[in-house]
Amino acid sequence: MLDFKLPSLGSDMDEGTLLEWKVKPGDPVKKGQVVAVVDTSKAAVDVEIWSPGRVHELLVEIGEKIPVGTVLMTVLEPGETAPPPAERKAVPAAGRRRISPAARKHAESLSVDVEKLAGSGPGGAVTLADVDRAAAARPAEKPPAAAIRQAEMRRAIAAAMGRSKREIPHYYLSETVPMARAQDWLTQANAGRPLSARLLMAAVQLKAVAAALKKYPEMNGFFRDGAFQPAAAAHIGVAISLRQGGLIAPAIHDVGDKTLDEVMGDLADLVKRVRSGSLKSSEMSDPTITVTNLGDQGVEAVYGVIYPPQVALVGFGRIAPRPWADNGALAVMPTVTASLAADHRVSDGHRGALFLAKLRECLQAPENL
Amino acid sequence: MDEKELRAVLIETLLDIAPEVEAARLRDDKPLRSQVDLDSMDWLNFLIALHRKLAVEIPEADYARLVTLKDLQAYLGGKLR
């Protein structure tokens, strides 16, 4: 039997509130299936399971606030049969719900679905208090006040960024990258495309980062338990600002192996879901590096704070025409400042500089990305 | 579709992307992106939504002309005529 725990949702989210169960005891589950929805201070996160089996017991009630790592449910592995019922309070596996007529009536008056309730009474019976709790926890009717959410999110960001600045010896590098070729290429590529298939420079930049990471893998991975663990694939966290304030940096998976069009599609989808507040746990838990793009806001350069346990962050500023020395003469060239914040425990400035040089090179040949 | 209706479509589409906008405070003659926090992805989604609603093609080369709500109205109005 497997304990299914609330997975990590990123270094700045260490707890969540269970909003919804998507499975019930007895249900088969497959790899990648969404089994629950958990609310965090930033977004509602669909929690995915990564091992197949059959749901045995749900251990957390809707509305409960739970830290990352809490066992949410137990799962029978394929071929395993259910052990005799445990002593602890449990949600009955199947069949008629144990519920008193009074509780059932109360549930009906509040439109609470008793089938979805976890009972806390004898033998898993649903009590009046359970019904009240479920009614109070319903997200649609009682969302956490915006101000409370805001404060929670600021606290969460502060905790993660404080930890980063305490623990990670950052070093910073920047490089001015000529963007004429990339811009011309993009203009040409977009000229023949319908609106919905057009590419953004942000997607080109993500592909370029992934290409540079292939050569400099020490920027891609996690620093855990005193050692660097390089990541095989580039799951690039994209810093996306939230309309109500704050930011979130969920991952686009396997950027290096995807086409530019696929990365653009993923980016559009991700921004859409961030804005509507619906993310997947795998996107939150496994970015191997973060890219932040503040160019739209008009800053020249951004020097980021690394998201632990990642070891690097790449920042892009605004692309704008700037003075540029070319063959001994002054010219005007669209440029962007690409910056790298990296973890000195893992890499040195020399390798960081080579990484940025590679990134610059990749952006000169966008057709190869 | 008259000017008023077109403006209503513009505002409605904008609110889908940036729900925090107070429509009454928008100035038609000021750059839209200085009044509303729209990044390049928001801008693209805004144009895609307009394209879907109005069945109007908007080549990328024309983006630079679309600065204010007034510009958008004139441009789209011209295409719809």
pLDDT digits (tens, 9 = 90+) for A100-137: 777 777 787 777 777 777 777 777 778 878 888 887 77
Domains, chain B, ranges and CATH? 3-80 (1.10.1200.10)
At residue A98 the predicted structure's pLDDT band, cuts being 50, 70 and 90, is confident
Asked whether the beta carbons of residue B39 and residue A190 sit closer than 8 angstroms, the reply is: no
Cβ–Cβ under 8 Å, residues A251 and A236? yes
Domain A161-368 class, CATH top level:
alpha beta
**Nearest-by-Cβ selection for A268 from B20, B41, B51:** B41
Percent of chain A with pLDDT over 70: 94
At residue A92 the predicted structure's pLDDT band, cuts being 50, 70 and 90, is very low
Rounded CA-CA distance A228/A311 in Å is 8
pLDDT digits (tens, 9 = 90+) for A191-243: 989 999 999 999 999 999 999 999 999 999 999 999 999 999 999 999 998 87
Asked whether the beta carbons of residue B40 and residue A241 sit closer than 8 angstroms, the reply is: no
pLDDT digits (tens, 9 = 90+) for A267-281: 999 998 888 778 999
Rounded CA-CA distance B59/A173 in Å is 37
Which fold is adopted by the domain A2-137?
A: OB fold (Dihydrolipoamide Acetyltransferase, E2P) (2.40.50)
Burial class (CB in 10 A: 0-12, 13-18, 19+), B67: middle
Asked whether the beta carbons of residue A190 and residue B60 sit closer than 8 angstroms, the reply is: yes
Rounded CA-CA distance B64/A353 in Å is 35
Averaged over A87-95, what is the pLDDT?
A: 48
pLDDT reading at A143 higher than 60: no
What is the residue extent of each domain of chain A? 2-137, 161-368
At residue A336 the predicted structure's pLDDT band, cuts being 50, 70 and 90, is very high
- Which of A204, A270, A296 would best serve as a mutation to test chain B binding (most B beta carbons within 10 A)? A296
- Structure-token pair, residue A360: 């610059």
pLDDT reading at B5 higher than 60: yes
Averaged over B17-37, what is the pLDDT?
A: 90
Asked whether the beta carbons of residue A196 and residue B48 sit closer than 8 angstroms, the reply is: yes
- How large is the angle between the packed helices B3-17 and B69-80, nearest 10 degrees? 120
